[in-house]
């Protein structure tokens, strides 16, 4: 009987079947294909043989041949292994069962000349009769060590009866593909899950929305979000947040704000990063009203603004050319106890520069210095550029020299 050898040229990508095969088989390999073709080497040449020909063998011959094939894929780990392989084997968890250690050693020392990875896993399943806990232990070890065969082993396990695959297992694979930006693989996994009769849930659909959002496929994210709403379950922060981020990335800021309001009505608070993403978008376009709305909404939601958030609001005012409002907002933030960074100082100076208010800028700097706040590198760079544009080179040198001496003094005190 021919030996099936499947090659895995790319550890991340899966060896999919032809398009006419079912979605489940496209994603998770050839495990249930009745007539897939194996390849072997004979006299230095590659030849193929359909496994259908094995049906013409006598029953006893079939059993004997199959047993030999399984045993041939399970090789003893000899002394001629590399130093890295020996180290990886020695680092296997002591609590791992012997049957799990056995297959981990085979995977660590795997090479193409021993056949395909799928054959190796099939041999382990038949010889050791692993339970779900064993599969999970192996997968955890592969994932923790970032082994390149993690995804292939996960795909194989999903089709094994002993693994007892559930919705969450498929969700983890979908999430993994999403992080790798392998959208087609994630979509096929999702189709496979439905084909096997497993019901998707809020976590699965949220993973799909998050993936489509990051990939810029807003329409698909909207379609999945509609399916999510049809489940009739209360949505959590992550589900709402993923869709809000999709609106933001698509430039649909009004829809993003509307969904945030829906969340507020349902007493679901969006995360800090969601608010920051929306605030940043308004800030970069100089939309002062939008930036102020989001800034206020964050505080109502109980999120305390930090220096980076404050800088986004100041940037909106600076982009709009509102130097007075930048200064007012800066002083209000300081009064509220926010420890503003050099970026915020630089934004106030940039706003004054845009309106050519040099005296106001110097007055602002003197006030900061009295309070023990020194202009940092970014703020000094704004001043240097401004003075350079005015043609006052000597003043630039004075500013930079003064900054350097004060900074050195501050460092010596600290």
Q: What pLDDT is stored for residue 113 in this prediction?
A: 65
Q: Is the pLDDT of residue 39 over 60?
A: no
Q: Which two tokens stand for residue 400?
A: 């930079």
If DSSP codes are grouped into helix, strand and coil, which group holds residue 118?
Answer: helix
The better pLDDT of the pair 31, 339 is held by 339
Q: What is the pTM of this model?
A: 0.75
When pLDDT is averaged across residues 64-81 and rounded to a whole number, the result is 60
Residues 380-400, mean pLDDT to the nearest whole number: 76
pLDDT at 13 over 80: no
| pLDDT higher than threshold 60 for residue 7 | no
For residue range 248-291, list pLDDT tens digits in order.
999 999 999 999 999 999 999 999 999 999 999 999 999 999 99
Whole-angstrom Cα distance, residue 206 to residue 197?
19
At CA 379, angle to CA 307 and CA 284, rounded to 5? Answer: 55
pLDDT at 54: 36
Task: Give the lowest-confidence range in 18-27, 82-91, 197-206, 208-217.
Answer: 18-27
Is the predicted pLDDT of residue 55 greater than 70, yes or no? no
Contact 401, 393 (CB under 8 A): no
pLDDT at 79: 77
Q: State the pLDDT at residue 407.
A: 59
**Helical residues (DSSP H) of 91-163, grouped into ranges:** 98-108, 117-128, 132-144, 150-158
Instruction: Give residue-wise pLDDT tens across range 310-321.
Output: 999 999 999 998
Q: Shortest CA distance to 12 belongs to which of 142, 120, 204, 123?
A: 142
In sequence order, what E strands does 271-319 have? none
Q: Which of 138-147, 163-172, 208-217, 375-384 has the lowest mean pLDDT?
A: 375-384
pLDDT band for 22, please (50, 70, 90 cuts). very low
Comparison of pLDDT for 61 and 297, the residue scoring more: 297
The answer on pLDDT for 12 being more than 60 is: no
Cross-strand bridge partners of residue 39: 48
Q: Is the pLDDT of residue 5 over 50?
A: no
CA distance 314 to 311: 5
Q: Averaged over 395-399, what is the pLDDT?
A: 63
Q: Is the pLDDT of residue 330 over 50?
A: yes
Beta strand ranges found along 162-320 (DSSP E): none
pLDDT at 388: 83
- Spatial distance between the Cα atoms of 32 and 34, rounded to a whole number of angstroms: 6
The mean pLDDT value for 388-409 works out to 67
Average pLDDT over every residue of 44-70 = 40
Mean pLDDT for the chain?
A: 81
- Cα→Cα distances 1→6, 37, 111, 140, 400, Å: 16, 12, 22, 35, 81
β-sheet bridge partners, residue 50: 37
113: how many CB neighbours lie within 10 A of its CB? 7
32 versus 340: the higher-pLDDT residue is 340
The pLDDT, as a whole number, for residue 412 is: 63
Band of the pLDDT at 369, cuts 50, 70, 90?
confident
């Amino acid at each position: 009987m021919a030996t099936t050898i499947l090659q895995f040229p790319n550890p991340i990508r899966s060896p999919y079947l032809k398009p006419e095969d079912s979605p489940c088989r496209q994603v998770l390999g050839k495990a249930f294909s009745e007539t897939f073709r194996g390849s072997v080497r004979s006299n230095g040449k590659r030849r193929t043989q359909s496994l259908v020909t094995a049906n013409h063998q006598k029953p006893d011959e079939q059993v004997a041949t199959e047993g030999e094939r399984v045993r041939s894929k399970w090789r003893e780990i000899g002394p001629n292994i590399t130093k890295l392989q020996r180290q990886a084997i020695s680092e296997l968890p002591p609590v791992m069962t012997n049957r799990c250690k056995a297959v981990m050693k085979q995977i660590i020392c795997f090479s193409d000349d021993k056949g395909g990875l799928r054959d190796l896993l099939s041999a382990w399943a038949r010889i050791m009769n692993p339970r779900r806990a064993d599969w999970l232990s192996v997968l955890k070890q592969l994932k923790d060590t970032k082994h390149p065969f993690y995804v292939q082993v996960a795909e194989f396990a999903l089709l094994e009866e002993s693994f007892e695959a559930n919705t969450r297992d498929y969700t983890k694979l979908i999430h993994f593909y999403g992080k790798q930006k392998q959208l087609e693989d994630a979509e096929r996994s999702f189709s496979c899950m439905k084909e096997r009769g497993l019901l998707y849930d809020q976590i699965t659909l949220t993973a799909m929305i998050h993936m489509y959002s990051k990939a810029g496929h807003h329409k698909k994210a909207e379609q999945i979000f509609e399916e999510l709403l049809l489940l009739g379950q209360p949505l959590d922060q992550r589900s709402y947040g993923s869709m809000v981020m999709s609106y933001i990335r698509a430039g649909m800021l009004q829809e993003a704000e509307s969904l945030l309001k829906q969340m507020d009505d349902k007493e679901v608070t969006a995360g800090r990063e969601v608010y920051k993403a929306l605030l940043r978008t308004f800030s970069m376009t100089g939309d002062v009203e939008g930036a102020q709305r989001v800034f206020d909404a964050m505080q109502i939601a109980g999120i305390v603004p930090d220096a980076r958030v404050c800088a986004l609001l100041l940037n909106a005012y600076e982009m709009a050319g509102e130097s007075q409002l930048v200064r007012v907002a800066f002083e209000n933030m300081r009064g509220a106890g926010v420890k503003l960074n050099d970026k915020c100082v630089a934004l106030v100076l940039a706003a004054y520069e845009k309106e050519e208010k040099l005296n106001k800028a110097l007055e602002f700097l003197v006030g900061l210095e009295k309070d023990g706040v020194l202009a940092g590198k970014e703020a000094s760079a704004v001043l240097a550029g401004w003075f350079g544009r005015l043609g006052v080179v000597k003043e630039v040198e004075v500013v930079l020299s003064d900054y350097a001496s004060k900074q050195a003094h501050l460092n010596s005190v600290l």
